[in-house]
Chain A
Amino acid sequence: MADPIEEEIQREIKANKILIYGKGTKAMPMCGFTRETMHFFEKYGYPYELIDVLSQPAKREALTRLTNWPTLPKVFIDGQFYGDTDILDPMEAKGEVVPLLKKAFDAS
Protein backbone atom coordinates (compact mmCIF):
# COMPACT_ATOMS: atom_id res chain seq x y z
CA MET A 1 0.00 0.00 0.00
CA ALA A 2 1.70 3.18 -1.14
CA ASP A 3 2.30 5.73 1.58
CA PRO A 4 -0.31 8.54 1.32
CA ILE A 5 2.33 11.16 2.08
CA GLU A 6 4.53 9.94 -0.76
CA GLU A 7 1.51 9.92 -3.05
CA GLU A 8 0.80 13.52 -2.06
CA ILE A 9 4.43 14.44 -2.78
CA GLN A 10 4.25 12.79 -6.21
CA ARG A 11 1.07 14.75 -6.96
CA GLU A 12 2.69 18.01 -5.87
CA ILE A 13 5.83 17.35 -7.91
CA LYS A 14 3.76 16.66 -11.05
CA ALA A 15 1.44 19.61 -10.47
CA ASN A 16 4.21 22.22 -10.25
CA LYS A 17 6.87 22.72 -12.93
CA ILE A 18 9.04 24.49 -10.33
CA LEU A 19 8.43 23.30 -6.79
CA ILE A 20 10.35 24.34 -3.70
CA TYR A 21 9.84 22.47 -0.46
CA GLY A 22 11.12 24.86 2.16
CA LYS A 23 10.60 26.69 5.39
CA GLY A 24 7.74 29.19 5.53
CA THR A 25 5.51 30.58 2.82
CA LYS A 26 5.95 32.82 -0.21
CA ALA A 27 4.59 35.72 1.82
CA MET A 28 6.79 34.84 4.81
CA PRO A 29 9.81 32.68 4.01
CA MET A 30 11.44 31.63 7.30
CA CYS A 31 14.91 30.72 6.12
CA GLY A 32 17.61 32.47 4.17
CA PHE A 33 18.12 29.55 1.83
CA THR A 34 14.39 29.32 1.08
CA ARG A 35 14.35 33.06 0.27
CA GLU A 36 17.48 32.70 -1.84
CA THR A 37 15.87 29.89 -3.83
CA MET A 38 12.73 31.96 -4.41
CA HIS A 39 14.85 34.86 -5.72
CA PHE A 40 16.77 32.44 -7.93
CA PHE A 41 13.58 31.52 -9.80
CA GLU A 42 12.05 34.99 -9.70
CA LYS A 43 14.97 36.12 -11.88
CA TYR A 44 13.71 33.87 -14.69
CA GLY A 45 10.10 35.00 -14.36
CA TYR A 46 8.63 31.52 -14.45
CA PRO A 47 5.93 30.68 -11.86
CA TYR A 48 7.04 28.53 -8.93
CA GLU A 49 5.37 27.02 -5.89
CA LEU A 50 6.72 27.00 -2.32
CA ILE A 51 5.37 24.36 0.02
CA ASP A 52 6.14 24.82 3.71
CA VAL A 53 7.30 21.59 5.30
CA LEU A 54 8.21 23.15 8.62
CA SER A 55 4.54 22.67 9.42
CA GLN A 56 4.50 19.14 7.94
CA PRO A 57 7.26 17.12 9.70
CA ALA A 58 6.08 13.76 8.30
CA LYS A 59 6.28 15.08 4.73
CA ARG A 60 9.67 16.63 5.49
CA GLU A 61 10.93 13.22 6.67
CA ALA A 62 9.48 11.43 3.62
CA LEU A 63 11.17 13.95 1.31
CA THR A 64 14.52 13.43 3.02
CA ARG A 65 14.19 9.67 2.50
CA LEU A 66 12.92 10.04 -1.08
CA THR A 67 15.79 12.32 -2.18
CA ASN A 68 18.59 11.15 0.13
CA TRP A 69 19.18 14.85 0.75
CA PRO A 70 19.28 15.97 4.40
CA THR A 71 18.53 19.69 4.09
CA LEU A 72 15.88 22.16 3.05
CA PRO A 73 15.01 23.70 0.66
CA LYS A 74 14.50 20.88 -1.85
CA VAL A 75 13.86 21.89 -5.46
CA PHE A 76 12.01 19.89 -8.09
CA ILE A 77 11.91 21.06 -11.72
CA ASP A 78 9.60 19.23 -14.13
CA GLY A 79 9.38 16.35 -11.66
CA GLN A 80 13.17 15.99 -11.25
CA PHE A 81 15.08 16.67 -8.02
CA TYR A 82 17.78 19.37 -8.17
CA GLY A 83 18.84 19.85 -4.52
CA ASP A 84 19.07 23.59 -3.85
CA THR A 85 20.98 26.66 -5.03
CA ASP A 86 24.26 24.87 -4.24
CA ILE A 87 23.39 22.77 -7.30
CA LEU A 88 21.44 25.34 -9.32
CA ASP A 89 24.09 28.07 -9.11
CA PRO A 90 26.85 25.99 -10.77
CA MET A 91 24.28 24.76 -13.31
CA GLU A 92 23.36 28.39 -14.03
CA ALA A 93 27.06 29.26 -14.45
CA LYS A 94 27.27 26.53 -17.10
CA GLY A 95 24.12 27.87 -18.83
CA GLU A 96 22.10 24.74 -18.03
CA VAL A 97 19.17 26.38 -16.21
CA VAL A 98 17.54 28.36 -19.04
CA PRO A 99 17.18 25.38 -21.41
CA LEU A 100 15.92 23.27 -18.53
CA LEU A 101 13.19 25.77 -17.63
CA LYS A 102 12.29 26.35 -21.30
CA LYS A 103 11.86 22.60 -21.81
CA ALA A 104 9.76 22.33 -18.65
CA PHE A 105 7.38 25.14 -19.56
CA ASP A 106 7.29 24.78 -23.33
CA ALA A 107 6.44 21.11 -23.08
CA SER A 108 3.09 21.90 -21.46
Chain B
Amino acid sequence: MITADAVTTYIRQVFPDAAVTVIDKTGTQDHLIVRVTSAGFAEKNLLDRHRMVYQALAAPMKDGRIHALEITATTPDEVK
Protein backbone atom coordinates (compact mmCIF):
# COMPACT_ATOMS: atom_id res chain seq x y z
CA MET B 1 0.00 0.00 0.00
CA ILE B 2 1.25 3.46 -0.82
CA THR B 3 -0.40 6.85 -0.98
CA ALA B 4 -0.50 9.10 -4.02
CA ASP B 5 1.48 11.72 -2.07
CA ALA B 6 4.26 9.23 -1.33
CA VAL B 7 4.43 8.25 -5.02
CA THR B 8 4.57 11.92 -6.01
CA THR B 9 7.36 12.58 -3.51
CA TYR B 10 9.45 9.72 -4.90
CA ILE B 11 8.91 10.93 -8.47
CA ARG B 12 9.74 14.55 -7.65
CA GLN B 13 13.11 13.43 -6.22
CA VAL B 14 14.03 12.60 -9.83
CA PHE B 15 11.71 15.04 -11.67
CA PRO B 16 11.32 18.14 -9.45
CA ASP B 17 8.96 19.76 -12.00
CA ALA B 18 6.76 16.68 -12.42
CA ALA B 19 2.98 16.80 -12.49
CA VAL B 20 1.94 13.39 -11.15
CA THR B 21 -1.45 11.65 -11.26
CA VAL B 22 -1.87 8.38 -9.37
CA ILE B 23 -4.85 6.12 -10.06
CA ASP B 24 -5.58 3.18 -7.76
CA LYS B 25 -6.55 0.46 -10.25
CA THR B 26 -7.91 -2.10 -7.85
CA GLY B 27 -8.72 -0.23 -4.62
CA THR B 28 -5.80 -1.92 -2.85
CA GLN B 29 -3.43 1.04 -3.32
CA ASP B 30 -0.72 -1.22 -4.78
CA HIS B 31 -1.89 -1.68 -8.39
CA LEU B 32 -1.32 1.82 -9.67
CA ILE B 33 -1.53 3.82 -12.86
CA VAL B 34 0.99 6.64 -12.60
CA ARG B 35 0.95 9.49 -15.11
CA VAL B 36 4.03 11.70 -15.04
CA THR B 37 4.45 14.92 -17.00
CA SER B 38 7.90 16.49 -16.88
CA ALA B 39 10.28 18.38 -19.12
CA GLY B 40 12.87 15.84 -17.95
CA PHE B 41 11.48 13.38 -20.54
CA ALA B 42 12.36 15.60 -23.48
CA GLU B 43 14.46 13.79 -26.15
CA LYS B 44 14.08 10.50 -24.24
CA ASN B 45 12.46 7.52 -25.95
CA LEU B 46 9.56 5.67 -24.34
CA LEU B 47 11.68 2.87 -22.88
CA ASP B 48 14.10 5.28 -21.21
CA ARG B 49 11.27 7.41 -19.86
CA HIS B 50 9.71 4.38 -18.23
CA ARG B 51 13.12 3.24 -16.93
CA MET B 52 13.54 6.64 -15.24
CA VAL B 53 10.13 6.35 -13.56
CA TYR B 54 10.91 2.78 -12.44
CA GLN B 55 14.20 4.03 -10.95
CA ALA B 56 12.36 6.79 -9.09
CA LEU B 57 9.96 4.19 -7.65
CA ALA B 58 12.55 1.44 -7.13
CA ALA B 59 12.23 1.44 -3.31
CA PRO B 60 8.44 1.02 -3.01
CA MET B 61 8.50 -1.55 -5.84
CA LYS B 62 11.28 -3.56 -4.19
CA ASP B 63 9.54 -3.69 -0.81
CA GLY B 64 6.16 -4.49 -2.32
CA ARG B 65 4.28 -1.29 -1.45
CA ILE B 66 3.74 -1.11 -5.22
CA HIS B 67 2.77 -4.48 -6.72
CA ALA B 68 1.82 -3.48 -10.26
CA LEU B 69 2.50 -0.28 -12.11
CA GLU B 70 1.26 1.20 -15.37
CA ILE B 71 3.15 4.26 -16.49
CA THR B 72 2.53 7.11 -18.88
CA ALA B 73 5.40 9.56 -19.24
CA THR B 74 4.96 12.72 -21.29
CA THR B 75 6.52 16.14 -21.61
CA PRO B 76 4.33 19.20 -20.96
CA ASP B 77 3.97 19.97 -24.66
CA GLU B 78 3.00 16.39 -25.51
CA VAL B 79 0.02 16.53 -23.21
CA LYS B 80 -3.01 17.11 -25.45
A residues whose Cβ falls under 8 Å from a Cβ of B: 32-33, 68-71, 81-83, 86-87, 90-91
Contacts and interface: CB of A to CB of B under 8 A. Distances in A.
A70 B58 contact: yes
Interface of B: 46-47, 50-51, 54, 58, 61, 68-72
A69 B61 CA distance: 12
10 contacts: A33-B68, A68-B51, A70-B61, A83-B47, A86-B70, A86-B71, A86-B72, A87-B50, A90-B46, A91-B46
- Describe B's contact surface by its main secondary structure: helix
B55 to A, nearest CB: 9
B54 A71 contact: yes
